Amino acid sequence: MTRIALIADTHGLLRPQALAFLAGSDHILHAGDIGGPEILAQLAAIAPLDAVRGNNDQAPWARDLPLARTVMLGGVAVHMVHDIADLRQADLATRDTHVRVVVSGHSHKPAIAEQGGVLFVNPGSAGPRRFTLPISVGELRIEGARVTPRLVTLEVPPSPSVRRRR
């Protein structure tokens, strides 16, 4: 079995809880809005890494990151794009590759859906909390042609709140 860890929208914050989840992965996919090259270095120290550039990855270090990428992992074609709205139908099937999984980020909302034989997974955001959305990551377990996705909400301490005057 191959374990592919999924992470997105770190925005420069790589939490210890996320690092613990990623440990033991066979491969890591980062679906953009990384926040800095130090995040990529930390992830690459854990397992082989592929990443795409998010809309907030505008600094010079991110210029070499692709906007979309298809990788073969455990015999399964996985396509990555930061914003699912940027997915093109042509990305899902070429002459040689039929994409089985699409991994995206951007919305900060963890989600799994299957449509037309393609599994769509958004691991949510592992970085700074946005609104009331969970801090989350995901994984794909690949065994032969079978792909099992999973989303995990990370237990993180609440952010310090500002006391309001009455």
pLDDT of res. 91: 76
Residues 6 or more apart from 156 whose CB is under 8 A from it? 15, 17, 129, 135
Closest CA relative to residue 128, chosen from 30, 21, 11: 11
Is the CB of residue 138 less than 8 Å from the CB of residue 6? Answer: yes
Say if residue 97's pLDDT is above 80: no
pLDDT of res. 164: 45
Give tens-digit pLDDT for 52-87.
999 999 999 999 999 999 999 999 999 999 999 999
User: Mind listing the domains of the chain with CATH numbers?
Assistant: 2-153 (3.60.21.10)
β-sheet with 118-122: strand ranges across: 68-73, 76-81, 101-103, 118-122, 111-115
- The model carries a pTM of 0.92
Give tens-digit pLDDT for 119-136.
999 999 999 998 889 999
